[in-house]
């Protein structure tokens, strides 16, 4: 892997297929890395603030042991989206869940940038999905 100078970042968000590409593109530009390690669960930003033990064990392995330690991830995008079947709440609650989850992830990863993103339909073309940064990366 190191021979090819491949760069990674990490996404933690919903499994919903409509959001993966737009989050990947956002992260590539924002974190200047090529490959998103994609950690998903249905409506995960609704679950992270509850600190479920099994979810955290799984997250520790994927995020810390693999993405950070093996892939040297350059940062994490925590994302949620409108019309989420796994976390069926209104957009304002969804954004609040993203903010809370971003703080939870930040505690796990120390000095790496963690960015909170809300994905929603484009106002101009509702068949398109767009990513809005709602929590800025806190850098040391
Ligand atoms: Zn969802």
pLDDT (tens digit per residue) in 46-65: 999 998 999 999 999 999 99
**Distance from the alpha carbon of residue 86 to the mean position of ligand 1, in angstroms:** 5
State in Å: Cα 89 to ligand 1 middle: 10
| CA–centroid distance, residue 98 to ligand 1 (Å) | 12
Query: In the numeric block, which tokens belong to residue 87?
Result: 């976390």
Q: Tell how far the Cα of 17 is from the centroid of ligand 1, in angstroms.
A: 9
pLDDT of residue 64: 98
Q: What pLDDT digit, counting tens, does each position of 104-114 carry?
A: 999 999 999 99
Q: Locate all alpha helices (DSSP H) within 69-120, ordered by sequence.
A: 91-109
| pTM score of the predicted model | 0.94
Query: Given the DSSP bridges, would you call strands 8-14 and 35-41 parallel, antiparallel or unpaired?
Result: parallel
Q: 80 CA distance to ligand 1 centroid (A)?
A: 7
């Amino acid at each position: 892997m190191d021979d090819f100078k491949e760069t990674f970042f990490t996404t933690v968000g919903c499994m919903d297929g409509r959001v993966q590409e737009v989050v990947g593109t956002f992260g590539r530009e924002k974190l200047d890395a090529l490959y998103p390690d994609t950690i998903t669960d249905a409506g995960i930003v609704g679950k992270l603030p509850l600190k479920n033990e099994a979810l955290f064990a799984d997250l520790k392995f994927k995020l810390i042991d693999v993405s950070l330690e093996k892939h040297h991830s350059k940062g994490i995008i925590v994302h949620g989206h409108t019309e989420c079947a796994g976390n069926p709440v209104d957009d304002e609650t969804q954004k609040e869940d993203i903010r809370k989850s971003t703080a939870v992830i930040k505690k796990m990863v120390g000095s790496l940038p963690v960015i909170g993103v809300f994905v929603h339909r484009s106002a101009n073309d509702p068949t398109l999905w767009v990513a809005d940064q709602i929590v800025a990366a806190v850098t040391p």
